[in-house]
Amino acid sequence: MRHVFFTVPPAYDGASLKGFLRSFAGCSARLLAAAKREEGGLLRNGEPATARAVLRAGDVVRLAVEPAPCAVEPVELPLRVVWEDESVLVAEKPSGMVMYPRPGHERDSLANAVCALFVGRGEEPEYHPVYRLDRDTTGLVVLGRDAFAASRLAGRVEKEYRALCAGELSGMGTVDAPIGLLPGHSVQRCVRPQGERAVTHWRSLGVYAGYSLLSFSLETGRTHQIRVHMAHLGHPLLGDDMYGGSRALLPRQALHCARAAFSHPVTGQALAFSSPLPPDMAALVPGE
């Protein structure tokens, strides 16, 4: 059983324990209900407390979070951990690694690697990625170490992506175009009126001989969003043959999650991490 501790700030003096956990701590109704069922699941200053208990500024609240062990087979794989504490893990995903096992990748996913890391340390093998990266997309992945941390971080990680795109683009722009499945396909997407709204902001970082390095921030998180929007503009990612990109310079889509920033799910501390371009992309950018 994992335990999360909070110190009640002055603004919540007089609040109920339930109100504090649901509002300040961002605890879901499901996690709160599970803690209430657990003996010692809710403590105030080390003593059992009910959800109706009235809190005072400075009180220390302890919330029990039920373990959610991952059933994926632990497999020792190269894994670069950028940062971690008892609530969060930030890792680098290489090209070719899927997020979860699937046919053809039953034992080489990020889930296999993370579970092996924890099992090797004698810890519960939990796996809670806050967002997903495509198989050939590289860069930072933020994971919750437990269900509470993951739910608290969901939708709250600010990410910057970098990509090499066909054509010479300067300045900046925004693509606001709905994305849906390409008719007749189960994976490939396209811009289509019946799709879900998708908003991508881009900024040029450099223009080279026939291609450009762009920075992206997303307002929405649709599958393949950057890849689809850039193909829609006529500037597909290098190596992204699914969306019309040439593989002459790279054998995979040139997309990298270069920055991840968020508030810590327990302490509220502002955290930010960056990742340089991987070698295959950096080799195409003078000065990298």
Q: Give catalytic residue positions.
A: 134
Inter-residue contact 135 to 98 (CB < 8 Å): yes
Give SS3 for 63: strand
171: its two tokens:
């300045």
If phi > 0 it is left, if psi is from -120 to 50 it is alpha, else beta; for residue 196 that is: beta
Total H helices, total E strands in the chain: 6, 16
Pairing assessment for the beta strands 255-263 and 211-218 based on DSSP bridges:
unpaired
Q: How many CB atoms lie within 10 A of CB 171?
A: 7
Closest CA to 224 of 104, 137, 162: 137
β partners of residue 63: 4, 42
Task: Please report the beta strands in the chain, taking only residues with DSSP state E, as ranges in sequence order.
Answer: 2-7, 42-44, 47-48, 60-65, 80-84, 88-93, 128-129, 138-144, 158-166, 172-176, 179-181, 189-191, 199-207, 211-218, 255-263, 270-274
How far is the C-alpha of 76 from the C-alpha of 65, rounded, in Å? 27
CA atoms within 13 A on the CB side of 98: 10
β partners of residue 62: 5, 43
